[in-house]
Chains A and B, each alone.
Chain A
């Protein structure tokens, strides 16, 4: 009997997978309707989205962008529900720059753009290291651009750094133990005693500078960013020092750091702001012109530094004891051990907490509204006090919220990027 066999000699062309297994149908099944319960939840959530969109949609769709006042907006809308974004169109420059003279808007804008140039070498390793020089002089440059006045003030203030370095180098051969202290004391003495007269003399001799703009003209997002960025930039090194001080074996250093951190953390920020705005005025001699923005920046920075110190202490605590001992066994002194071994690891661990504090600090700047500074929230009240825009709430708050979201979101994304970059995978 002949054997009947079938052997396929050619390959079958691959068939397309069944419709239910590919494309959007598969995606829907996997992600939205994988079970009866999930299907029901999907439908419910979809209904909620549609319901919200139907409620809010017309408000956005009917938005009026060109009108002179709320009344005009209402006229254009003729009874329909709709946003009156004309207020943003009318006042966005004020919300960004406060009362800064409009012919000088280029100065804060330039300072803001240069901020990224100054930050780039600190944030991204691909940027040439040489740019760090620009980062170092940026505070003085930004001050000059924002407040104007003679160029000698910031220059003389910056000169404190070389003065400190010079004192350190001069004393190091003779008194190696006292040199670091001298390096710290010399610039302070320079700023307290010499800087004022020197700057005055130089300004009288060579009156170079920009048109001065008083702090009373500052407002809006410019003010938030100035307070936020300064607070962020200064609170990180201060926080590191405080955290190290808290873990120090030196009794005095430890006591001072613990006392400072616990005191500042135990007090609400608004209390510190009221102290800056009200109490300091009573302590200081009458007629003293101690800039209100500077007072606020100092208080916000101290507040953030106390929180930062605890976040970084958390990072330090996460480093195994062996790392400290390894550093010691290499013969590194304290500062080298911290700088080369401990802090790079501790800071990496603490990144989410640090950025968390930064974002919190940036949003906390809106509290200055309670001491009469016109940050975006304060300006929204002031804009509403204008008879044209009295009674407008949502549009202003939406704009302010969106602006804050952009900044905080960028910070958050950068921190995620940083964490990925520094990931060394030892778990």
Chain B
């Protein structure tokens, strides 16, 4: 039952002690929904549509969890978080899982006491320039003015890149992405640098996207992935393998279209184990045997989600690149379902 605000206050003052964070899965089942922290708005990754339904690449991770645990991808409560509030929201239990384009770094993993369960998008910092600048590589940017968001790791990466390549640049420090784009379009800087996925998403919104190019160099590693609180390995396993199930499904050619056909049994034991027709992998995670099948039916495999939210057919238009399957020369690689 939902606690009212007033009673919630009373609970705080009066009762004190709260639910232990040890068994997130039990809490989630009791609440009947997963509280999932997402970005307040990042094109292609998480945004509410006209009906208030959250859509996007990061959002699909949460929906996959809903499908795995409740066989219903709508049983997710989305909590919008900003760059400042995201870690506290997770640490304090306001959200059960954070799927908010967060870079996996050592300090966040160890110092902030979180567990990154995998990488759903390999990003990196890139540059966008106007075509008539006549530049084809970031190494030709010597002496350029560069728009840069202040207080981000991108600022440090930029300094490193130019120092390593023995080049000079003039930074134009800017507060927000929206402002930076306006400055770049107004010609206040030759180049604008931020995560390559963000550049692609922004370029899609220009009135003349064909006159801007994103340079091929990626100057930093930004592995983005979902994360959970440290100390509940069972819950971390569920999130980790839900993501892996999507990746593995693409590798084995299981799509939302053919999953029902394949679930009748195939000659490939790996597919059978994944779809729950063989073995008891679901029970090991304390989930329904059809958990992975539900993910693929209701949300889709990794490639399907990628293509429908940020892929080349969408206005965002991101190529698979590093995010292709390992069999296709990318980095997406799921450990075996055994």
Contact = CB atoms under 8 A, between A and B. Distances in A.
Nearest to B207: A74
Given A74-B207, A98-B52, A385 B13 contact: no
B156 interface: no
Interface in B1-42: 2-14, 16-21, 27, 39-42
Given A216-B79, A278-B85, A91 B50 contact: yes
Contacts of A390: 43, 201-202, 204-205, 315
A285 B18 contact: yes
Given A91-B50, A157-B6, A372-B85, A385 B12 contact: no
A382 B8 contact: no
Interface string A50-94: 000000000000000000001100100000000000000011001
Given A287-B21, A370-B84, A214 B2 contact: yes
B8 to A, nearest CB: 5
B19 A287 contact: yes
A120 to B, nearest CB: 26
Contacts of B47: 382-383, 385-387
Contact of B9 (A150, A154, A281, A294): A294
A134 B41 CA distance: 40
Interface stretch (A16-24, A162-170, A188-196, A261-269): A188-196
A293 B93 CA distance: 16
Interface in A342-369: 369
Nearest to B204: A390
Contact of B80 (A150, A278, A378, A393): A378
A335 interface: no
Nearest to B55: A386
Interface in B81-101: 81-82, 84-85, 88-89, 91-94
A290 B5 CA distance: 7
A293 B8 CA distance: 12
Contacts of B79: 216, 372
Contacts of A192: 10, 13-14
B307 interface: no
A71 B315 contact: yes
Contacts of B11: 196, 288-290
B277 to A, nearest CB: 37
Contacts of B46: 385
B178 interface: yes
Interface in A284-307: 284-294
Contacts of A383: 41, 47-48
Which of B45, B49, B178 has the most chain A CB atoms inside 10 A of its CB? Answer: B49
Given A191-B6, A212-B2, A385-B56, 11 more contacts: A90-B50, A102-B51, A153-B6, A195-B7, A199-B4, A199-B7, A282-B88, A288-B18, A289-B11, A372-B80, A390-B43
15 contacts: A153-B7, A192-B13, A217-B52, A277-B88, A281-B88, A281-B89, A281-B94, A289-B3, A290-B9, A371-B85, A382-B48, A384-B43, A385-B46, A385-B56, A386-B43
